[in-house]
C-alpha cells in the first residue's frame, strides 16, 4: 500500500505531466499553484506567482470575474469553450476554460486548454494525410511515365543510326524531350539520397544561407540574424538542411525583390521551444528556426496547397521548393509550417532536440 505521502507525490507528478494548464486560486482569487503546463503557457514560475492576484496572470473581463466569483461562492463548476482570454502582457489566447471548485475553502482549479495547439495538431494530421495521398499518386504516376520513357529514348537512338542525317533533328528532339521529362519526374520523386545525420551547428548553416541571400539580394534587402546562442548542436543532415533553408530563404527573397518591396527585411531566427508535439510525439525540447519576411504574403488561393508539388505563383517557378523542403524536414522527424499575412510571412521549422520517453 502506498503511504498518503507517496500518493500525494504521485498526484503532484501527474498534475505536472498533464498537457492542460492548471491554475489553482483561493477564494480571494490569489494564485496558490500552477502546474508545469501553466508555467510554460504563461512563461512564469509558481514561485514568482505565489499569492499574487490572478489579475497578474490573466486580465479578467467583468464577465469572467463574475463567473469565477459565482463558481467559488456557490461551489459550481463552469466551462467556456472556444473563448478568448488575455494574458497580463496583452497577449490573447483562444482556449477551452473549465473552472472547478476543489475544496470547502472555495478554492478553484482553472483548467486552460489552448486551442491553437489543438487546431494545429488537427490541421497537421489532415495535411499529412493529404500529402501522403498526393505523394503516393505522384510516385506511381512518375514510375508509369519513367518506364516507357527509357524505351522511347532507346528506340529513338536506334532509329537515329538508321536514318539519313538530315532527319536527325527529329530524333534529337525525341531524345532531348525524353531527357527533360525524366529530369522533371526525378525532381517530382524528390530526394532519393538517404538522410545522413551528424551533430551540426545550425547557425553555421544559417550563416551560409545569409551569405548566399546577401549576395543575391545586394543592398535591396536587409538580412537580420537573431540566434539563440545557447542552442546545442543538432543531429541533422547538413546538406539537406541547407537545401531546406535555402528553398525557404529564396522564396522570401523572391517575394521581396520580385514585388519591389523597398524596405525589405528577412529575419533568420532560432529559438528553443519546450514541450512541443510533432505528429504523435511530445518532445521535451525542439529547435525552432524561423525565416520571416515583410513582403505581400502568400496569395490567398495558394495558402492551403503551398507545400504540394507544382504549386507556384511565379512565372519561372517549379513549385517544388517547399514540397522538397517539407519531405526533407519529415525525414528529420520535424515539422514545417507557415503563417502569412500582408507584410508578415513566417516559415517555422521545428526539429526535435530531445524526445520524451
The residues that touch Mg ion, with contacts defined as CB under 5 A, are 251, 321
Minimum CB separation of residue 303 from ligand ADP in Å reads 9
Are 323 and 355 within 8 A, CB to CB?
Answer: no
Measure the CA dihedral 250/253/255/256, to 10°.
180
Give the other-Cβ count within 10 Å of 77's Cβ: 13
Q: Which is nearer to ligand ADP, 142 or 320 (CB)?
A: 320
Stretch near ligand ADP under the rule CB under 6 A, chosen from 8-16, 95-103, 223-231, 250-258: 250-258
> Does residue 345 bind ligand ADP (CB under 6 A)?
yes
**Window of 71-79, 99-107, 124-132, 245-253 that interacts with ligand ADP by CB under 6 A:** 245-253
Nearest approach, Cβ of 184 to ligand ADP (angstroms)?
Answer: 13
Q: Which DSSP letter does residue 53 get?
A: B
Q: 286 near 234, Cβ under 8 Å? A: no
Strand 221-226 and strand 264-278: pairing?
Answer: parallel
Residue 270 interacts with ligand ADP (CB under 6 A)?
no
**Closest to 329 (Cα-Cα) out of 314, 303, 311, 351:** 351
Q: What's the CA angle centered on 237, arms 231 and 241, to 5 degrees? A: 75
Q: How far is CA 99 from the centre of its chain?
A: 31
Number of residues that bind ligand ADP (CB under 6 A): 23
* Helix/strand/coil for 298: coil
By CB under 6 A, residue 321 contacts ligand ADP: yes
Residue 313 C-beta: closest distance to ligand ADP, Å: 3
Instruction: Say whether 340 sits in a helix, a strand or coil.
Output: strand
Q: How far apart are CA 29 and CA 106, in angstroms?
A: 10
Shortest gap between Cβ of 28 and ligand ADP (angstroms)? 50
Out of 33, 53, 319, 333, point to the residue binding ligand ADP (CB under 6 A). 319
Q: Which of 19, 67, 86, 318 binds ligand ADP (CB under 6 A)?
A: 318
Beta bridge partners of 97: 80, 112
Of these partners, Mg ion, ligand ADP, none, which one is at the site of residue 53 (CB under 5 to 8 Å by kind)? none
Residue 107 or 251 having the CB closest to Mg ion: 251
Q: What is the largest CA-CA distance in the chain?
A: 101
Measured CA angle at 317 (ends 305, 213), to 5 deg: 100
Q: Applying CB under 6 A, which part among 133-141, 226-234, 269-277, 290-298 lies near ligand ADP?
A: 290-298
Residues 292-311 that bind ligand ADP (CB under 6 A): 293, 295, 297-299, 302, 306, 311
Phi/psi region, residue 199 (left: phi>0; alpha: psi -120 to 50; beta: rest), is: beta
CA–CA dist 252, 220 (Å, integer): 13
- The residue from 317, 343, 344, 356 that contacts ligand ADP (CB under 6 A) is 317
In the complex, the smallest distance separating the C-beta of residue 305 from ligand ADP, rounded to whole angstroms, is 9
Minimal distance in Å, beta carbon 160 to ligand ADP? 34
Is residue 188 close enough to count as binding ligand ADP by CB under 6 A? no
Q: What is the rounded CA–CA span in Å between residue 283 and residue 201?
A: 20
Q: Does 313 bind ligand ADP (CB under 6 A)?
A: yes
User: Which one of Mg ion, ligand ADP, none is in contact with 334 (Cβ closer than 5 to 8 A by kind)?
Assistant: none
Helix (H, G, I), strand (E, B) or coil at 187: helix
Shortest approach of ligand ADP to residue 187 CB, angstroms?
A: 11
Q: Does 251 bind ligand ADP (CB under 6 A)?
A: yes
Asked whether position 336 contacts ligand ADP by CB under 6 A, the answer is no
Report in angstroms how near the CB of residue 273 gets to ligand ADP at its nearest: 21
* Spatial strand order in the sheet of 344-355: 221-226, 264-278, 281-293, 344-355, 335-341
Q: Note the residues at the interface with ligand ADP (CB under 6 A).
A: 247, 251-252, 255, 293, 295, 297-299, 302, 306, 311-314, 317-323, 345
Amino acid at each position: 500500500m502506498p503511504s498518503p505521502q507517496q500518493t500525494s507525490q504521485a498526484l503532484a507528478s501527474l498534475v505536472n505531466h498533464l498537457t492542460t494548464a492548471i491554475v489553482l486560486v483561493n477564494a480571494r482569487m490569489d494564485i496558490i499553484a500552477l502546474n508545469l503546463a501553466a508555467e510554460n503557457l504563461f512563461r512564469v514560475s509558481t514561485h514568482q506567482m505565489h499569492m499574487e492576484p490572478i489579475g497578474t496572470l490573466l486580465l479578467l473581463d467583468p464577465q469572467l470575474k463574475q463567473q469565477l466569483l459565482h463558481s467559488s461562492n456557490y461551489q459550481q463548476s463552469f466551462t467556456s469553450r472556444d473563448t478568448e482570454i488575455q494574458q497580463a502582457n496583452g497577449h490573447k489566447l483562444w482556449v477551452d476554460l473549465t473552472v472547478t471548485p476543489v475544496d470547502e475553502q472555495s478554492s478553484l482549479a482553472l483548467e486552460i486548454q489552448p486551442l491553437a495547439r489543438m487546431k494545429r495538431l488537427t490541421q497537421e494530421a489532415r495535411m499529412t494525410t493529404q500529402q501522403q495521398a498526393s505523394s503516393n499518386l505522384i510516385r506511381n504516376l512518375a514510375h508509369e511515365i519513367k518506364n516507357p520513357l527509357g524505351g522511347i529514348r532507346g528506340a529513338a537512338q536506334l532509329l537515329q543510326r538508321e536514318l539519313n542525317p538530315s532527319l536527325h533533328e527529329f530524333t534529337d528532339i525525341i531524345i532531348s524531350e525524353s531527357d527533360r521529362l525524366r529530369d522533371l519526374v526525378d525532381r517530382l520523386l524528390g530526394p532519393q539520397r538517404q538522410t545522413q545525420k551528424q551533430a551540426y551547428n545550425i547557425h553555421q548553416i544559417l550563416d551560409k544561407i545569409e551569405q548566399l541571400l546577401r549576395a543575391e539580394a545586394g543592398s535591396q534587402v536587409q538580412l537580420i540574424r537573431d540566434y539563440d546562442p545557447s542552442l546545442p548542436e543538432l543531429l541533422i543532415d547538413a546538406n539537406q538542411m541547407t537545401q531546406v533553408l535555402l528553398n525557404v530563404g529564396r522564396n522570401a527573397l523572391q517575394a521581396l525583390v520580385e514585388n519591389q518591396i523597398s524596405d525589405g527585411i528577412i529575419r533568420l531566427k532560432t529559438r528553443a521551444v519546450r514541450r512541443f508535439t510533432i505528429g504523435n510525439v511530445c518532445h521535451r525540447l525542439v529547435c525552432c528556426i524561423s525565416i520571416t519576411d515583410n513582403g505581400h504574403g502568400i496569395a490567398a488561393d495558394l495558402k492551403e496547397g503551398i507545400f504540394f508539388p507544382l504549386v507556384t505563383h511565379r512565372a519561372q517557378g517549379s513549385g517544388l521548393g517547399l514540397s522538397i523542403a517539407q519531405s526533407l524536414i519529415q525525414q528529420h522527424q520535424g515539422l514545417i509550417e507557415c503563417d502569412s499575412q500582408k507584410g508578415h510571412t513566417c516559415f517555422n521549422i521545428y526539429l526535435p532536440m530531445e524526445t520524451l520517453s
